[in-house]
Structure 1
Amino acid sequence: MRPSSAHRPTLHVLIDEHWPANAEADWVLTETDSTLRAHGCSTPDRWPGDATLVVVLGASQSSWHRVTLPKGKAATDPRLIAYALEDVLLDAPQAQHITLIQRHDAETGSQADLIVTARDRLRTVLTALRTAGHEPRHLYTELQSDVTTADGRQELQLCLRPGLAVLHPIEAGPVALPDDIDQLMPFVDDALRTRRRDEMDFPRLRLHADPGCEAEVTRIEAVLGSATLQACERYAWWRTDAAADLLHGEFSVGAAGASLARSLRLPLALAASALLALAGIMFADILRMRSAIDALDADIASRFAAALPGTPRVMPEAQLHRRLEDLRRRAGAAGDADLLPLLGRLAEARDDLAPTASVTALDFGAGRLSVAFAGATAEELDRLRTALAPAIELTQAQGDDR
């Protein structure tokens, strides 16, 4: 018996910018109480099954922006938000999927923190996951991985994993950086200087690192020293409890099916209309044919009653044929079982089936004609019997051994 979704473990998968070209992805399996059960790196066909899938999109695939919007209902207008982002985006806002994180009301307007992700990238990821048989319940960005301290205080934090670093300043949103220390440290120094200028306390940096980043951690410790650098903790990129779900709007759970249903609505409506019209035409034809059959049946019944008054209609065709023969005899006309009509049938059949045969004897009585043939082969005689039976009986003339 499958466990309910509330009691199923959660599979967190980290999708970097090279996926699905490089199909392997880091994953972590946690229990319902967030206890770590297992972790690994593998292709989708080897991910643990029977678990709720949560995808974490690598930080380099999204960007964090803070924009100022006017107060009032206009601040919620997607078109206005897209317009506010035009100066900071390389591509048109229409090509981006914008996720609202939070708002900060100010005297001059409303400041909004936004996460921007390319629509094409989201489509690529979701299509590849569904092709592999995986449907994500949630999709978050690594920029929002939960790295707050145990007591909930916000601090200047740096997260390291192989190939990527995420710097979390206090004054601005997180930013994805290369894990190369020479390129990374200027950004860290600038964040520390900004923090030192704004606060009287000596700023410190909390470091979160993947176990595979030991060399980078050693260099950072050597550069910053223990006075600035706090104890290094393991980077838990899968902790996204406070993150905003990117699966909204056209990418919301079930939106693919709803979009397909909307796209098929008009063709299905046209097909249904065509089927209804066809069914109406067929029903009209059935009614018309039924009416014609009823009219024909009534005509047959009328003619039968006129020809055979008071006679029950059992086999109308045979009954009418016998009545016609009787009327012919009463009028002195030859019937089908009389001698002349039978001789006419015999002559036609002989000319067609046995033209060289000759009649040597005839006998007629009680509507039955017996004929003896000479000069006919056995095959010709069989064909004649088949064509003339049962009213005419054929025999081979004595002494004719063909």
Structure 2
Amino acid sequence: MAVLVIQIPPRPRLASRAAGEPAEPRPAAEFDHVLSNDGRSVASSGRSAPAQLPRADTVVAVLADADVAWHRLTLPKAPASRLRAALAGMLEEGLLDDDSALHLAVPPQAAAGQPAWIAAVHKPWLQATLASLEAAGLVVDRVLPAQAPGATARGHFFADGPADAAPTLALAHADGAAVVRVGGTLARALLPADLDGVHWTATPAAAAAAERWLGHPVRVLGEPERALEAVQTDWNLRQFDLASRHRGTRALRDAWRRFLGPDWRPARIGLAALVAVQLLGLNLWAWKQDQALAARRAEMNDLLRTAHPGVRAIIDPPAQMQRETERLRAAAGRAGDGDLEVLLGAAAAAWPDGQGPVQTLRYEGGRLTLAAPGWGEPQLAQFRERLRPAGYSVEMAEGRVTLGRNLRRPA
């Protein structure tokens, strides 16, 4: 599953704006990006305008360390629709910007009544950046901080100024996160007591200065690799009014992507094997049914040839068997089920109680029609019930009843 990580450049501050620029800077014209085929290793990296960024299954935006502020508080017990307003009320005194200019986000799997780190980002700038990316056809699935406060302490050195300037340290641990330049005393004051428990990294340009400042080696980590490390977290700053739309469709799409990922490969193989076994079983069962049907047809043909040796061409064994049997019966002078004598006997045996003899009758094509003047529903029901066990059907129309073996009329 391909992952595109877009590194959002730091938001320009007041000191870095040229004279005459608007108070709210426009989104960056180009973005550094990292493309990974598995979300863990770098396949390619570069810098492009939004329209030229490569396409991937998942698009993730990573904010710079200095663009995310962190506030520690106890998560209020409020419904999801009012959680944003509750957080703003609790952070009112600790926010430097106006509440409407800030976007807040809670950590993943945060529980009400428990302490949590709340992320704060400049909202108009983040909205404009996401809009510029989505205008180029990129749907940003998640917005991540480069690093967040947590149980694992991390310190990353990077150079963001002249070559002879001191590097900048992005430090995050259980007590908070900060971005400071290591040239002064503030950086050392923010260091945790256990320096050996900190996961130290540095960009190639800042590695030598970082090792001199710390007094021990650090792991060299490029910005593309660090961006991919951020992807491994569960954070997503797209919350509240910045939450991505069409969550249901996106959730299904993400589930499908995960299913196509390497972690689900054994499940896909097992599912394909199960489908193959089912198809094979259905084909074997159909073949067996065809063989049984062919054997039954052969038995019917053999029975027809044995009972009626004069039949040469077998086309419809049941119909031919019945026709030949009727021919033999007629030749022997025996009455059949549809003959007049048999129908008259059945009608006489089932004649309703209290009814006089029949006045008129008509026989045609195995159907006997009798005059039944004055019959009501009780007499007809009695007549029909007495004939039903013998397999006869009865119809009544215009004072006449008709009985026969099969009274279904052709369409």
> TM-score of the superposition, structure 2-length normalised?
0.47
RCO higher in structure (CA 8 A, sep ≥6): 2
